[in-house]
Structure 1
Amino acid sequence: VTMKDITAQHQAELRLNTRNSELAAALAEAEKANRVKTDFMGVMSHELRTPMNAVLSCANLLSQTRLDSVQTRTLGVLEDAGRQMLALLNDLLDLAGLNADKVRLDPQPVPLVRLIEDAAVIWSSDVRAKGLTLSVMIDPALRTPRMVDAARLLQIIGNLMANAIKFTTEGGITIQAWPEKARDGSGRMAIEVEDTGSGVPAEAAERIFSAFEQVDVSSRRRHGGLGLGLHVARRLANAMGGDITLETTPGEGSRFTVRIDAPVAQDAPAADAPPEAVAEHETSARDILCVDDNPRNLFVIGAMLRAAGHVTMECSSGAEALEVLGRQKFDVIMLDMVMPDMDGLETLSRLRTGGGPNARTPVIACTANVLPDQVASYRKAGTIEVLAKPIDPKAMLQAVAAAA
């Protein structure tokens, strides 16, 4: 009979099991904390976007009235400040989504020349306001549609442009774009944003891509912001199969280069084909039911629709909306998704299953809850479009036209 003392082995196994249990508990706690953080970001999104919707929408309505020069300038300041707050909020929400791996890409055939030119137009007024020049050079080969997520690519370009404008006081900004090929022959593209600004010190060249990091964090810093724009842009570029690199010389300027996957779209329409989208005003008047528990939002959404020639009726709850929808036919329903007692999802579910004259009426979700999982749930429930608050008047009118 052979006997062996396994006390030490048994104790080691006990220590290992204990350690594994501790690690499992720590992982569960971390996952719980991450869920709590994501839930908090969703609530914060709604609570901040709801009043911001009223501020920017009312500013838009005021801009369509007769104003004197002082009022026009004051309104411009209000709109600029509102858009800046919205951009900061969007960066925070994007960061939360990226950290939770909840940012989904939607590649579609995109004529990149048009997209990049649109980006330049969007930022041209800010460039001119600082007395800078803006040059755009795009390789004609990019006229062939490529498979990219247009909204995310515009966001990357926008973040780089905002950074360039912020740190450039004289000279100009240049945008260049050209096609490339990966080692396996698949299509890629590069976009370069170059400025003649202050440049970045060597020791900060990599740090500025980290979240909440800035070159100057002193109390005397000249430039505001949360330090998220470049971090979000790089994370999005990573998600699109690429990266962002920086070449910089302090005192002379910086060159940010984005490289992402952009395969040529198969069976895509010609780049010069006329767009099929319906122009925002090329639609007849619609009967639209607006549903929102917030009276400010209800007022501004209805006012913007009426200003475009539509006929609106307003309800302040899901229950009231269902009662109206049961007896009167509408062409489109604008539905807030977060309401007390009966939220938008429940209202939509009861509408679809209850029959009646509006069981198949197109529903457009209007919501301050814009995290990817939330938007996906609204689309799955049957909304034809999800509009993020603050509501973009042009996007809303285009959605109404498309719903007809």
Structure 2
Amino acid sequence: MKRKLGPVLILLILLSGIPDFCYASDASINWSSDELAFMEEHPVIQVGVDPKFVPFEFFDETGNYQGLTSDYLEIISQKTGLKFEIVKNLTWTEAYEKAFRGEIDMLPAISKTAAREQYFLFSEPYYYFKRVIVIRNTTKNINDLGDLYGQTVAVQRNSSHHSYLADYPQINLSLYDSVESALTAVANGSETVFVGNLATTNYLIRSTGLTNLKFVAFESDKQQGLYFASRSDWPELISIINKTLETITPEEKIAINNKWIGVEVEPDYGPIYQIIMIIGGIIVIIWLVSVYWILRLRREIAKRKIIQSDLESAKIEAEAANNIKSNFLARMSHEIRTPLNAIIGMSYLAKKDQVIGTQKMYLDRITQSANMMLSIINDILDYSKIESGKIELERVPFNLDLVIQDVINIMSFKIEEQRIGFKLAKDPKIPNCYFGDAKRIEQILLNLINNATKFTTVGEVSLDIRLIAKQANQYHLTFSVSDTGIGMSEDQIKNLFDPFSQGDASINRRFGGTGLGLSIVKSLVEMMNGEIQVYSSEGEGSTFIVKLVLEEDVEKEKEYQKQVQALYFNDIKTLVLEKTGSNMNIIDSYLSAFGMHCELTTSPVSAINMLELENGKFSDPFDLLILDYDTPGGGGFKFIEMLQENKRIAKKPKIIMLLPMLREDLFNRLDDAGVDVGIGKPIIPSILYNGILEIFRTKAIVANQSLKREQKIESNRQNNYGVLVVEDNKTNQLIAKSLLEPEGFRVWLGDEGQAGFEIFKANQQDIDIVLMDLHMPILNGYEAAEKIRELSKDIPIVAMTADVIEGVKEKCEVYGIHHYISKPFDPEHFVEIIKKIVSRNVSQKKEIEITPTEQSKENAHVKIPVLDREAGLKYIGNNEVLYQQVLSAYLVENQDVNDKLAEAIKNKHYKIAAEIVHKIKSSSGSIGAKPLVLVASDLQKALEANQKDKIEDLYGQFVELMNELLENIKKE
């Protein structure tokens, strides 16, 4: 036995101690002419390395480049004559970024990922390693990648493991510049988990003495390759490296691997061999024990593979279940939104008829209840979007007073139902016109006020809007919602913003709700770079403070302020009679902002005395009386009777009466009582201003309204557009027809897709727009649109759908549906959208170019302008001055862009060219240059995919459009 083992042991010992091989230049490799030319032109290759990627590549204590990769580079250098110059004093992140920018030619030890393949060319792999999880010995319940969901995982920045884990959004990443620092963080408890390759982590754990760490293997059947990666425009270098790697023998590879890797993968059997040589019999026992454990290990591996397979199957099932959940939510929303559209639409149509105050109040309550139901649906969908990071904020001009008014209108029913008070205070120094997402701000305020109202049974809820700072046109505002409700404990506040969470189970039973509102509020506020704070004590109420920074719409605010200043009512003497005085300071501040001065009182008797003109006590009588309906001593109407009967009042003032919430019935009595204007509480500044304006500029307003009515009638007469409504829901058909016909539209109705197509085919010359439901029997909206597109390429088709499934808009575009209206829709907004689409399409039709020949008549096309001013203005809030500044900056920045692009394409630097085109695509979209954006998008894709046949044609189109755009801007 000893004789047999002796030669084997000697051979193993010799192999383990073999020094570096000495390689001779290999002239037998069949180099191509391009490869030979490349080596002659580029004798020195700049190489970027990971200085701590042991044992593959690293710098030793003397600063020499060492490691498995270093040996392979030495072989390639000797066989090719190329010199590989190592760029020193860089971290891996810095080396990677320099290679990404083309400042370094090659990365010799890198894994291949889909993202990296867009920027680098890769050789064949020359080594394979396995990925492992590293945790402390005391850490439990981490056995696979799935156990890392929801946890923070340490990983080396820009490594293949970084790219690999980035595909798992459920895992949070903590990035480190080196593996050693990441492992140290896990060892000292700063991090819980690290993911890296087995060889490097094993080497560093042993060399640094981090004995409290252990490995967890996963994806045991998968191996990761190590590659040489070069810049994308050097395919010859990759070909040279591949040919050289093919000449390296298996024995040479084993020798290199044993030199650098073997000590990590296999235990040191030297002492065991010595014992075997002395005691031959023991080897038999060891061999038998080894066989036993190997067999057992194989069984364990087989079991682990089964478990892994089961986990993968469970993951697939979980993803499928998640998709089913998302589709169910979207479908549920669609089914609920459709009848809601009918409820809101029919209520709107009913209010357009002559209805008395109470009927209008009932219709308003129906609409408010429908909107509340819609808000619940939106809460669920918004939370789902926030979870997946797919919610987006708009930037559109809006009026803050109108947002507040909408919030109050929606919440007034709830406040009245609770029989509590509501108080509004707004700093008069705050502008009204801003850029931002008005709907999301409204959603934040609705949720906060609804929450405050729900938990308040005695007292009041208040909304206080204050200015805390101003920087240029940025206004720092606070929206404070306070209540006198049940309050909260500290423990309840801690969990307040958790989704599906409420104070406790009893609150859930008593007050109901989804538990999503405040969670959504916090997410939306943070998305707006704002802050939310909560102050509360049990039994003493709560205060929520939202801090937001809003950008002022300077142009519209100037217009508004000019209007206010032009109509200052300095000479209007005003008396305010308010029941308790709680709103007096607010009214006083609002009137002061209008340039008016007023006298304040809470006493009807005092008010009568102030209005009387005895002995010339008041030589200047009051012009305006602002009167609270709940005035003591019989109420507001009783007080007016007293004024009318009082003969000592020579001049009766104009009267504005402040009415309680949800008392629309009182509006019917205002004329009979001699009240000029009624305003609902709480008082909104712009509403009060408009009320005063209505009284003292009545003739102008009446004339203006009359003119507007005449213009509208004339507009409706001129509007003879034809609309095809394809909708299988009869109620929605009726709503669309009832909304459009009064505006002058001629309406055709189709019950399903095939019928709609037939109607369009028969009346194509008379139909200017198609409104298309997507879900219909026989032929759905997509199929019907596709058939209509065969007859007409330019007819606008508008999707009317309650679908909220992701990808619907994109699918509509594929089928030629380029406009989208979501149900339920706002009736007035709906009509305006249809008018805008039709008028724009008709104006484009007028630009159709027709030549005398019959062939050209058939090929007539719509000429789309390269610069759409209307679209560009819309992107920046219709600010004409700012738009001109943006165009000027665009012109200066892009004067030489065609030259830069031509240079990059000529030298086949497609990556640089793609970056140039991408930048142009982004900036061109923001000014309304849609044709250039479309061509730039296609050219960018062609450049990134190295599609040389497409690049030339698209480049020509790009240059032509770019030149035309720049000329147009110069004319502007």
1:257 CA drift (Å): 2.6
1:312 aligns with 2:747: yes
1:254 aligns with 2:536: no
SS in structure 2 at match of 1:271: helix
Alignment partners' CA distance in 1, 2:809 and 2:548:
25
Deviations 1:115-139 (A, max 9, x none): 6444455446347634523313257
Alignment correspondent of 2:777: 340
SS in structure 2 at match of 1:102: coil
TM-score relative to the length of structure 2: 0.36
**1:127–1:134 CA contact under 8 A, matched in 2:** no
Deviations 1:29-75 (A, max 9, x none): 33222211111111111111122222332233333345567765654
Alignment partners' CA distance in 1, 2:495 and 2:442:
23
Letter in 1 for 2:747: T
Question: Which runs of 5 or more residues in structure 1 are unaligned?
Answer: none
1:395 aligns with 2:829: yes
From 462, 465, 473, the equivalent of 1:173 is 462
Alignment correspondent of 1:137: 426
1:271 aligns with 2:557: yes
From 490, 493, 498, the equivalent of 1:202 is 490
Deviations 1:104-160 (A, max 9, x none): 23334x3564564444554463476345233132574655744x3332222222222
Deviations 1:267-290 (A, max 9, x none): x7443447xxxx999552443221
From 369, 384, 389, the equivalent of 2:803 is 369
Alignment correspondent of 1:228: 516
Tell which structure's C-alpha radius of gyration is larger: 2
Higher RCO (C-alpha 8 Å, min separation 6): 1
From 442, 451, 458, the equivalent of 1:154 is 442
212-221 vs 338-347, which moves further: 212-221
* CA separation of 1:5 and 1:139: change in aligned 2, threshold 3 A: farther
1:173 CA drift (Å): 1.0
Alignment partners' CA distance in 1, 2:402 and 2:325:
34
Alignment correspondent of 2:383: 95
**1:385–1:399 CA contact under 8 A, matched in 2:** no
**2:478–2:546 CA contact under 8 A, matched in 1:** yes
**2:463–2:479 CA contact under 8 A, matched in 1:** no
1:55 aligns with 2:343: yes
Question: Which runs of 5 or more residues in structure 2 are unaligned?
Answer: 1-11, 17-265, 269-289, 561-707, 840-972
1:171 CA drift (Å): 2.4
* CA separation of 1:346 and 1:103: change in aligned 2, threshold 3 A: farther
* CA separation of 1:261 and 1:76: change in aligned 2, threshold 3 A: closer
386-395 vs 220-229, which moves further: 220-229
Alignment correspondent of 1:386: 820
Give the 5 Å matches for 1:31-70. 31-66=319-354
Identity of aligned residues (%): 26
Deviations 1:151-177 (A, max 9, x none): 222222222222223333422312325
* CA separation of 1:325 and 1:35: change in aligned 2, threshold 3 A: same
Q: Which has the higher helix share?
A: 2
Alignment correspondent of 2:697: none
1:391 CA drift (Å): 2.8
Letter in 2 for 1:332: I
Alignment partners' CA distance in 2, 1:150 and 1:272:
20
* CA separation of 1:50 and 1:256: change in aligned 2, threshold 3 A: same
From 370, 395, 410, the equivalent of 1:82 is 370
Alignment partners' CA distance in 2, 1:203 and 1:245:
15
SS in structure 2 at match of 1:364: strand
SS in structure 1 at match of 2:557: coil
Letter in 2 for 1:161: I
Alignment partners' CA distance in 2, 1:382 and 1:156:
36
* CA separation of 1:143 and 1:87: change in aligned 2, threshold 3 A: closer
* CA separation of 1:54 and 1:258: change in aligned 2, threshold 3 A: same
1:324 aligns with 2:612: no
1:351 aligns with 2:785: no
Alignment partners' CA distance in 1, 2:770 and 2:314:
46
SS in structure 2 at match of 1:194: strand
**2:341–2:732 CA contact under 8 A, matched in 1:** yes
Alignment correspondent of 1:297: 732
TM-score relative to the length of structure 1: 0.79
* CA separation of 1:140 and 1:23: change in aligned 2, threshold 3 A: farther
Alignment partners' CA distance in 1, 2:410 and 2:536:
22
Letter in 2 for 1:345: Y
**1:123–1:161 CA contact under 8 A, matched in 2:** no
14-23 vs 87-96, which moves further: 14-23
1:100 CA drift (Å): 3.1
* CA separation of 1:60 and 1:198: change in aligned 2, threshold 3 A: same
Alignment partners' CA distance in 2, 1:144 and 1:54:
33
Alignment partners' CA distance in 1, 2:475 and 2:801:
36
Alignment correspondent of 1:239: 527
**2:365–2:413 CA contact under 8 A, matched in 1:** no
**2:449–2:461 CA contact under 8 A, matched in 1:** no
Letter in 2 for 1:46: H
* CA separation of 1:151 and 1:75: change in aligned 2, threshold 3 A: closer
1:369 CA drift (Å): 0.7
1:223 CA drift (Å): 2.9
* CA separation of 1:164 and 1:360: change in aligned 2, threshold 3 A: farther
Alignment partners' CA distance in 1, 2:390 and 2:745:
37
**2:488–2:536 CA contact under 8 A, matched in 1:** yes
1:331 CA drift (Å): 3.2
Letter in 1 for 2:499: A
**1:369–1:375 CA contact under 8 A, matched in 2:** no
**1:97–1:371 CA contact under 8 A, matched in 2:** no
* CA separation of 1:67 and 1:153: change in aligned 2, threshold 3 A: closer
1:315 CA drift (Å): 0.5
1:305 CA drift (Å): 2.6
SS in structure 1 at match of 2:820: strand
**1:127–1:133 CA contact under 8 A, matched in 2:** no
SS in structure 1 at match of 2:496: helix
1:398 CA drift (Å): 2.0
**1:244–1:259 CA contact under 8 A, matched in 2:** yes
Alignment partners' CA distance in 1, 2:412 and 2:773:
33
SS in structure 1 at match of 2:757: helix
Q: How many residues were matched structurally? A: 391
SS in structure 2 at match of 1:334: strand
Alignment partners' CA distance in 2, 1:95 and 1:216:
21
**2:465–2:477 CA contact under 8 A, matched in 1:** no
